[in-house]
Amino acid sequence: MSYLSNIYVEETRFGLWFLRSHTWQHHVLRVAINDLQRLFGDVLPSRPVLLDAGCGQGKSFRYLQQAFMPERLIGVDADPQSLNQSRAEAAGQGLTVELLGSDCATLAVPDASVDLLFCHQTFHHLVEQEQALAEFYRVLKPGGYLLFAESTEAYIDTWVIRWLFRHPMHVQKSAAQYLAMIRRQGFQFTEKNVSYPYLWWSRARDFGLLERMGLRQPKPFGQREETLVNVVARKPLEGAV
């Protein structure tokens, strides 16, 4: 994704190409949105206002439309070129998407105006993570949902990812640290609203090759460093404890 230089680390040329690839769309975006949809503890909001925070090149738009059928779909990114590509993507898909040039730490969106906020593979690019999360909380309506899908430090801090991509390494977090940060902000969720996908592409040391060849068994949950964390977290209703 793309953000201004003092609040994000700009993506590499390879990274920008990868965000247009079939692998990104089919094996990363599609899978994450399907998983987040599954993690809802309640009935999905009907015709929600949905904000895609860090929409990049807009490849998420059609999946979000299919999964959540929003009444309004808003894409936010700080990079003008990415917004231009998002605009072309929306037009090509026949979708109406409101596009805003804004960084995640200072969203140009009114208070309590959003039902669902989609944040996919965005946080590991952000320097001001706490401020961005506070903005997410501000713009969500009471009872609104944060759909958070993120790669952890165990994935970002590997030689192949450091070589191909660019990230602010001093703010990378474990799955537990991301979940703790979301709770500190005031969001609510249970274990049923959290998943730890262990997908082949997130195992950057060998991309799960030995396991796919039957030469090694994958480590079970609790015995491995989690490379991904997905959570559907709710902003409490007004007056709720």
Q: Write the DSSP string, the chain.
A: ----TTTBPPPPHHHHHHTTSHIIIIIIIHHHHHHHHHT-SSPPPSS-EEEEET-TTSTTHHHHHHHH--SEEEEEES-HHHHHHHHHHHHHHT---EEEE--GGG--S-TT-EEEEEEES-GGGBS-HHHHHHHHHHHEEEEEEEEEEEE-HHHHTSHHHHHH----GGG---HHHHHHHHHHHT-B--GGGEE----GGG-TTTTTHHHHTTSSPPPPTTSS---EEEEEEEPPPTT--
Residue 205 lies in a domain: yes
State yes or no: pLDDT of 183 exceeds 60.
yes
Residue 6 lies in a domain: no
Residue 195 lies in a domain: yes
Give the chain's domain count: 1
Residue 2 lies in a domain: no
Residue 241 lies in a domain: no
State yes or no: pLDDT of 15 exceeds 70.
no
pLDDT of residue 2: 37
Residue 210 lies in a domain: yes
State yes or no: pLDDT of 110 exceeds 50.
yes
State yes or no: pLDDT of 4 exceeds 50.
no
Predicted confidence band of residue 184 (pLDDT cuts 50, 70, 90) = very high
Residue 4 lies in a domain: no
| pLDDT, mean over the chain | 84
Residue 223 lies in a domain: yes
Give the CATH number for residue 34.
3.40.50.150
Residue range(s) defining the domain that contains residue 130: 13-234
Write the pLDDT tens digit of every residue in 50-89.
999 999 899 999 999 999 999 999 999 988 888 999 999 9
